[in-house]
Amino acid sequence: MKIFISVQYLRGCAALLVVLHHASINESWLYNPVLGWGFGATGVDIFFVISGFVMYHVARNEKCAEFLLKRAIRIVPMYWIATIAYIGLLAIGKFGGLSDIWHVQLLKSLFFIPHWSPKYDHQVWPLLIVGWTLNYEVFFYFVFAVGILLKRILEFVTFVMVGLVALGLLFGPFENPIAITYTSPLLLEFLAGIYLARFVSSPTLRGFEAAMPIGFGMLAVGSMPTFPYSLRVWVLMIGAISVVSGAIAFELRRGVKSRRLPKLIGDASYSIYLTHPFVIILVFKVWQRVALEGWPQFLSLLLATVIASTVVGVLIHLFLERPITNMLRRRIPDGQSPAIRT
DSSP 234: H
Do 70 and 342 contact (CB within 8 A), yes or no?
yes
Whole-angstrom distance, CA of residue 115 vs CA of residue 101: 12
Q: Which amino acid is at 30?
A: L
Residue 154: partners with Cβ closer than 8 Å, 6 or more residues away: 56, 147, 194, 195, 198
pLDDT of residue 332: 72
Give the mean pLDDT of 69-86.
96
Residue 115: predicted pLDDT: 95
How far apart CA 131 and CA 304 sit, in angstroms, is 24
Q: What is the rounded (10 degree) CA torsion for 77, 265, 294, 291?
A: 70
Per-residue pLDDT at 95: 67
Average pLDDT over residues 31-51: 96
**For position 3, what pLDDT does the model report?**
85
Mean pLDDT of 225-234: 94
- Using the predicted structure, report yes or no on whether residue 340 has a pLDDT greater than 60: no
Are 10 and 248 in contact by the 8 Å Cβ rule? The answer is: no
pLDDT band at 330 (very low <50, low <70, confident <90, very high): confident
- 335 pLDDT exceeds 80? no
Whole-angstrom Cα distance, residue 267 to residue 264? 5
Q: What is the mean pLDDT of the chain?
A: 92
Share of the chain above pLDDT 90, in %: 80
pLDDT the model gives residue 316: 98
Q: Using alpha carbons, select from 263, 228, 334 the residue that is nearest to residue 13.
A: 263
Distance CA 266, CA 271 (A): 10
Residue 203: predicted pLDDT: 85
Q: CA-to-CA distance for 34 and 31, rounded, in angstroms?
A: 9
Return the higher-pLDDT residue of 89 and 147.
147
Residue 15 contacts residue 272 (beta carbons within 8 Å) = yes
Rg (CA), the chain: 20
Averaged pLDDT for residues 67-80: 97
Where are the chain's structural domains? 5-329
Question: Model pTM?
Answer: 0.94
Kindly state the DSSP code that residue 318 receives in the 8-state scheme: I
**Residue 51 CA to its chain's centroid (Å):** 8
How confident is the model over 225-238, as a mean pLDDT?
95
Angle subtended by helix axes 5-23 and 43-59, to nearest 10: 150
SS3 333: coil
pLDDT reported for residue 97: 65
Q: What is the pLDDT confidence band of residue 245, given thresholds at 50, 70 and 90?
A: very high
Omega cis (within 30) before 177: no
Question: 123 and 116 in contact (C-beta within 8 Å)?
Answer: yes
pLDDT of residue 334: 58
- The 10s digit of each residue's pLDDT in 90-115 is 878 766 666 666 788 899 999 999 99
Question: Binning pLDDT at 50, 70 and 90, where does residue 170 land?
Answer: very high
